[in-house]
Structure 1
Amino acid sequence: MNNPLKTLSDAGVSIWLDDLSRARLTSGNLAQKIEQDSVTGVTTNPTIFAAALSQGADYADQLKELGDVSVEDAIKQCTARDVRDACDLFADIYARTGGYDGRVSIEVAPTLANETQATIDQAAELADLVGRENVLIKIPATKAGLPAITETIGAGISVNVTLIFSEQRYREVMDAYLTGLEKAAAAGKDLTKIHSVASFFISRVDSEIDKRLAAVGAEQLKGKAAIANAQVALGAYEEVFASSRFATLSGKGANKQRPLWASTGTKDPAYSDTLYVSNLVADGVVNTMPEKTMDAFADHGHIGTPLEGTGAQGKSTLAEVTAAGVDLTDVFQVLENEGVDKFIVSWHELEQSVKDAQASVLG
């Protein structure tokens, strides 16, 4: 087992791969990563599946079996099969960790990001379609997504909340989770079976804020905001899950909603390629990495200063960014809007890839 990745895992960070494809499953690549790189879960998104389904040959047999179904149904069936097979691969880890790890995510269509009821309906549909306890249904943390999170958790379905950029929205997400647990408890659901992660995006924060810092001549603050934002997020997590409200739920078997660091591949070549792994270490968090970042950490990664108890430090850094003239509220809204828009573009690419593949195998 790779030492830097094992060291990271031993420090309490769950290492999840931010990628999935039929080829990864059939070649044994994912199984190898579980065995050698301490990988204990997988996340997916529309961009990942757009890339996977563009390799039409990998899905040709299934598309032929499905026959003349709609593009939407073909996407659901193909992605659900990959996620189901990955869930089976992680079944031992899931059982051994009591649901803490061994998780695989599948996302509701990004075109539903501003539609609450449609998101609730598709979350239930995807959970049924995958049919595995260790699946996580990804729901975006948009305003419309918040009540969908509550209802989905309330129905006993585990959720990966995605596209979180700000402390304020993160607190709303944690409230939606706790409200969902309260609904589930009132309905007699087994709270021990309900899990959730909250995906807080990292590198995109620096990309947007660095651009604005350069515009106001505050170059000395570049590369600091994303990690500071994560420090603030972890501080909020520590506060909420130490509350009497959660203690009541915990007494009924409820699990904490774990912070997940997403978008941890470094986008600025001036920064270390392991920046958003080394500096985001805390016991109980998840870091979902693209393969390139995982390989970089495996080669030369190291553990930085633990994040626990550094929320005040993060707030101080963000206050400096604000004082320099960067409107953080605007930054976070821009990033949320862009995140949804980028996934919608990827979704349309995915639709086209499947349409082309169907035409190829069905004539």
Structure 2
Amino acid sequence: MSDRLKGLADEGVSIWLDDLSRERLTTGNLASLIKDSSVTGVTTNPTIFASALSNGAAYNDQVRELAARDTAVDDAIKALTSDDVRHACDVFKDVYEATGGVDGRVSIEVEPGLAMDTDGTTAQAADLWKIVDRPNVLIKIPATKPGLPAITNAIGEGISVNVTLIFSLERYRAVMDAYLSGLETAAANGHDLSRIQSVASFFVSRVDTEVDKRLDAIGSDEAKALKGKAAIANARLAYAAYEEVFAGERFAALEAKGANRQRPLWASTGVKDPNLPDTLYVTELAVAGTVNTMPEKTMKAFADHGELNGDRVSGTEEESTQVLDSLEAVGVDLDDVWEVIEKEGVDKFDKSWAELVDTVQTALDDAKKGKSPGESTDVDDPNK
């Protein structure tokens, strides 16, 4: 077992893998990560599934079966991805039971095209919850403005939710409010609040990517000195907001009825700037009661050389506020940053979903023609 990853887990950080594929499931790779790398959960998104389905022969038999039934592409995607998530939930069953339902969680996301559709998101969240049919699944709902009431609706129906694409403190507070409103509705509907879990996925590296680009454009020494600091400061302030809200009277009343805290989850923790340490967003955001969902590359890097420096988040509110104030002072419009990266996040998932649809449609078409899925010969030859 990795001593560094075990040490991180011992400090109270839940380590989730930001990846899933049928190959990981069928080869025992995921089970090995649970045993040897302290992995206690998995997150997925359209990009992850697009990659898995375009590169894995493990899906071929199911694709042939779906093609034989003349399954529509959207239904085929739902079948393929929900089967993987259901299988992963079963792999994590022991973790789920050992942690009282806190960990052992696997996420599946509503279609990105529904990000601005409250009713559509609400309906698909309920549909995915029923299809996967496992108590340890989390339905991912984006924290867009139309997504907020969908979060409340889903929680109110007893559905456990992973809120994704959170960038700003203002939106994060709105997400926590949506969660508490959902718990209040769930209680009124007679649901067992102790069975509802939620995490709030606060994105990290994308903040530095956008802010640092703007700091380079400003070009002053004061601006350059702030590079690589925005994301960590922003996340630490999010944790301070989390502590404030969940220490409040509103949650206390719900907690008395069995409700769980909505844990902060640090997402997008793969470092994109080669000038920064590749484990930066793990070491500097280590604090008990949080989740860090890592790409395997980041997980391996931390296992190899990650630093364990204890709680790096609590008590940092003042210095973190100073960082964001300094960014505004040198000319970075943070409100515009949050707007830009949220739109980019939705657009990226939209693009990945389109690629996923194209990949699965091609595989279905190939299977109907008797070819191996994904081995289409219907490609234009430039020499003809």
TM-score of the superposition, structure 1-length normalised?
0.99
Could you tell me whether the CA contact under 8 Å between 2:11 and 2:287 is conserved in 1?
yes
Q: For residue 52 of structure 2, what is the amino acid of its counterpart? A: A
Q: CA shift at 1:40, angstroms? A: 0.1
Q: How far apart, CA to CA, are the structure 2 residues paired with 1:315 and 1:126? A: 39
| Structure 2 equivalent of residue 2 of structure 1 | 2
Paired residue total? 363
Q: For residue 298 of structure 1, what is the amino acid of its counterpart? A: A
Tell me the secondary structure at the aligned position of residue 225 of structure 2.
Answer: helix
Q: CA shift at 1:115, angstroms? A: 0.2
Q: CA shift at 1:214, angstroms? A: 1.1
Q: CA shift at 1:60, angstroms? A: 1.2
| Structure 2 equivalent of residue 229 of structure 1 | 234
Q: How far apart, CA to CA, are the structure 2 residues paired with 1:48 and 1:176? A: 27
Q: For residue 123 of structure 1, what is the amino acid of its counterpart? A: A
- 1:239 correspondence with 2:257: no
Q: CA shift at 1:361, angstroms? A: 1.7
Q: How far apart, CA to CA, are the structure 2 residues paired with 1:150 and 1:25? A: 32
Tell me the secondary structure at the aligned position of residue 20 of structure 1.
Answer: coil
Q: CA shift at 1:56, angstroms? A: 5.1
Q: 1:192 aligns with which of 194, 218, 241?
A: 194
Could you tell me whether the CA contact under 8 Å between 2:158 and 2:186 is conserved in 1?
yes
| Structure 1 equivalent of residue 61 of structure 2 | 61
| Structure 1 equivalent of residue 112 of structure 2 | 110
Instruction: Look at both structures and tell me which one has the larger radius of gyration over its CA atoms.
Output: 2
| Structure 2 equivalent of residue 139 of structure 1 | 141
Q: CA shift at 1:198, angstroms? A: 0.1
- 1:294 correspondence with 2:277: no
| Structure 2 equivalent of residue 26 of structure 1 | 26
Q: How far apart, CA to CA, are the structure 1 residues paired with 2:161 and 2:70? A: 32
Q: CA RMSD in A?
A: 0.8
Q: For residue 16 of structure 2, what is the amino acid of its counterpart? A: W
Q: CA shift at 1:326, angstroms? A: 0.2
Aligned residues: percent identity? 65
Q: CA shift at 1:121, angstroms? A: 0.3
Q: How far apart, CA to CA, are the structure 1 residues paired with 2:319 and 2:138? A: 32
Q: How far apart, CA to CA, are the structure 2 residues paired with 1:224 and 1:322? A: 13
- Structure 1 spans left out of the alignment, 5+ residues: none
Q: For residue 298 of structure 2, what is the amino acid of its counterpart? A: T
- 1:353 correspondence with 2:355: no
Q: 2:170 aligns with which of 168, 171, 177?
A: 168
Q: CA shift at 1:309, angstroms? A: 2.3
Q: How far apart, CA to CA, are the structure 2 residues paired with 1:309 and 1:171? A: 19
| Structure 2 equivalent of residue 339 of structure 1 | 345
Q: CA shift at 1:4, angstroms? A: 0.3
Moved over 6 A (4+): none
Q: How far apart, CA to CA, are the structure 1 residues paired with 2:343 and 2:124? A: 21
| Structure 2 equivalent of residue 40 of structure 1 | 40
| Structure 2 equivalent of residue 14 of structure 1 | 14
Tell me the secondary structure at the aligned position of residue 265 of structure 1.
Answer: coil
| Structure 2 equivalent of residue 254 of structure 1 | 259
Cα offsets for 1:173-213 (capped at 9, x unmatched): 00000000000001110000000000000000000000111
Could you tell me whether the CA contact under 8 Å between 1:231 and 1:313 is conserved in 2?
no
Q: How far apart, CA to CA, are the structure 1 residues paired with 2:312 and 2:209? A: 23
Q: How far apart, CA to CA, are the structure 1 residues paired with 2:77 and 2:192? A: 31
Q: How far apart, CA to CA, are the structure 2 residues paired with 1:151 and 1:357? A: 35
Q: How far apart, CA to CA, are the structure 2 residues paired with 1:270 and 1:162? A: 27
Q: For residue 330 of structure 1, what is the amino acid of its counterpart? A: D
Q: How far apart, CA to CA, are the structure 2 residues paired with 1:27 and 1:296? A: 22
Q: 1:87 aligns with which of 86, 89, 97?
A: 89
Q: How far apart, CA to CA, are the structure 2 residues paired with 1:165 and 1:278? A: 20
| Structure 1 equivalent of residue 324 of structure 2 | 318
Q: How far apart, CA to CA, are the structure 2 residues paired with 1:323 and 1:6? A: 41
| Structure 1 equivalent of residue 182 of structure 2 | 180
Tell me the secondary structure at the aligned position of residue 54 of structure 1.
Answer: helix
